[in-house]
Amino acid sequence: MVKLLFFLIISNQLLMAQDFDFANRLYYDYEQYCESALTHRRFKHSDIKPLIERLKNNNKFRVEEIGKSAEGKEIYLLTLGTGKTKVFLWSQMHGDEPTATMALFDIFNFFSISDSFDPVRKELLNKLTIYFMPMVNPDGAEIYQRRNIYEIDINRDAVRQQTPEGILLRQTFDRLRAHYGFNLHDQSTRYSVGNSFKSAALSFLAPATDYGKSIDSVRTNAIQLIGELYKTLSQFIPGHIAKYADDFEPRAFGDNFQKWGTSTILLESGGWKDDPEKQFLRKMNFITLLSAFRSIASNSFKNESLEVYDQILFNDKFIFDVVLRNLKYSRDGKSYLIDVGINLNEINFNNGSAFYYKSSIEDIGDLSVYFGYKDYDFTGMEIIPGKVFEKVFSSYDELLSLDIKELHKNGYTSVVLQGGNLEAPFTELPINILISGIDNSNEFMLGKRADFTITQGDEIRYVIINGFPIDIKNSIGEIKNGLIY
């Protein structure tokens, strides 16, 4: 009797711990499922096509070509499972929002492999039929832009139905009438979780179905499921989960799908320090979605109170890429105490297959309510504009033999190239190149590039080149690229 009671207590605890345990196992075993053909954000339709073609030979998957993009790229629907509860996921309707697409391919690998998760796979595929529509906007992905090739935002085309991609998404929705929907996006990396000094790595939303944001049973399911996912994911990224702005958008897919009866969850991948290619957030997507499938299959989310969702902080904008704090700044014979907020904007290059960084000074003054992915306290130091090296160079090759570290040490942030006709707008050299004849003053103004020297007494302690700080004394820091002006 005692033994039996003991067994009941233990098994009960096992059941209760099940979801966290499942997510934890996914976290530690993730590498086995990670699709190695996708390693960065700027992959194209031609990168995922062979992966999908390969799945046609896998009898677990049903692969359909459901139509084509405006430029004729195939759009697919992949189906797994035979269960009566239908789950529909669509990713990358915005071409430059690819994180979840990578995770979908990891999930395809998860379901292709046989290992200790087999009982879970079996349960999921018996209870659910899961439909995946990866990369809804392949033409946008091709050039890494949000909109489709007609420059129309597909997510404002749910009702008017003018884009081939939006029409396909709507047709597929109408055909499936799934019980649950996952609308997969990326948001700005500069969203914070409220004013909490933490980046919004993931943001969720159960989209509203009217301007009054009323809550019916369809939306309640989404709210409860988000509540459970919030708790599950918080063990990996505590404090880094937010809620997306919940205003009703009558033209968007998520809002309408919710209105038309599919419990819909918006999942936005945001920013994570030192994860520019979003590989960690891809892993978080993988865990989120598989945890969601598990929760839907077992109905465990129905036990969740609505308050969890209510209490998730909204996205806010209190992040800069770089913050320089407590600097003395002299102007017109007076000195001021300032913080400087800098963003490192990604500019598409080579038709969106690559990018470079272009810094801009976003704010100057008291930035104590903000934080930076890179955040420096320069108390006791002074900021002065970077200098342009006096010698004029006549060829790029000459620049290659320069001792640039020595220039940094002496406060130079730019060099001048006479009459050069460099094609690219950036250089991999850790210094800016000014083409002679162009205005080459380093102005300390909002919107201008961030090129400074940080001094302590007579000593130069840091140079900031195109927004990237280098600690001169300790040789710490990396300049991803300089600019060519």
Shortest reach from residue 185's CB to Zn ion, in Å: 3
Task: Using the minimum distance from each CB to Zn ion, give the nearer residue, 91 or 232.
Answer: 91
Shortest reach from residue 48's CB to Zn ion, in Å: 18
- Does 278 sit near Zn ion (CB under 5 A)? no
Looking at residue 443, its amino acid is E
From 178-186, 234-242, 298-306, 370-378, give the range in contact with Zn ion by CB under 5 A.
178-186
Q: How far is CA 13 from the centre of its chain?
A: 36
Shortest reach from residue 418's CB to Zn ion, in Å: 45
From 30-38, 95-103, 309-317, 413-421, give the range in contact with Zn ion by CB under 5 A.
95-103
- Does 275 sit near Zn ion (CB under 5 A)? no
Q: Which of residues 348-367 bind Zn ion (CB under 5 A)?
A: none
Task: Using the minimum distance from each CB to Zn ion, give the nearer residue, 269 or 414.
Answer: 269
Instruction: Determine contact, residues 109/54, Cβ cutoff 8 Å.
Output: no
Task: Using the minimum distance from each CB to Zn ion, give the nearer residue, 138 or 467.
Answer: 138
- Does 97 sit near Zn ion (CB under 5 A)? yes
- Does 96 sit near Zn ion (CB under 5 A)? no
Task: Using the minimum distance from each CB to Zn ion, give the nearer residue, 97 or 142.
Answer: 97
From 58-66, 87-95, 390-398, 423-431, give the range in contact with Zn ion by CB under 5 A.
87-95
- 144-159 burial, b at 16+ Cβ within 10 Å, e below that, comes to bbbbbbeebbbbbbbe
Shortest reach from residue 97's CB to Zn ion, in Å: 5
- Does 147 sit near Zn ion (CB under 5 A)? no
CB-side neighbour CA atoms (13 Å) of 6: 3
From 181-189, 309-317, 362-370, 400-408, give the range in contact with Zn ion by CB under 5 A.
181-189
Task: Using the minimum distance from each CB to Zn ion, give the nearer residue, 73 or 185.
Answer: 185
From 37-45, 94-102, 227-235, 277-285, give the range in contact with Zn ion by CB under 5 A.
94-102
Q: Which of residues 184-203 bind Zn ion (CB under 5 A)?
A: 185
Task: Using the minimum distance from each CB to Zn ion, give the nearer residue, 186 or 275.
Answer: 186
- Does 42 sit near Zn ion (CB under 5 A)? no
Instruction: Determine contact, residues 66/163, Cβ cutoff 8 Å.
Output: no
- Burial bucket for residue 458 (CB in 10 Å: 0-12, 13-18, 19+): exposed
Instruction: Determine contact, residues 484/440, Cβ cutoff 8 Å.
Output: no
- Does 94 sit near Zn ion (CB under 5 A)? yes
Task: Using the minimum distance from each CB to Zn ion, give the nearer residue, 204 or 412.
Answer: 204
Residues 6+ apart with CB under 8 A from 402: 415, 431
Shortest reach from residue 8's CB to Zn ion, in Å: 48
Binding residues for Zn ion, rule CB under 5 A, total 3
Shortest reach from residue 99's CB to Zn ion, in Å: 11
User: For residues 395 and 423, what is the distance between their CA atoms, to the nearest angstrom?
Assistant: 13
Handedness of CA 244, 360, 153, 270 (dihedral sign): negative
Shortest reach from residue 250's CB to Zn ion, in Å: 17
Task: Point out which residues bind Zn ion (CB under 5 A).
Answer: 94, 97, 185
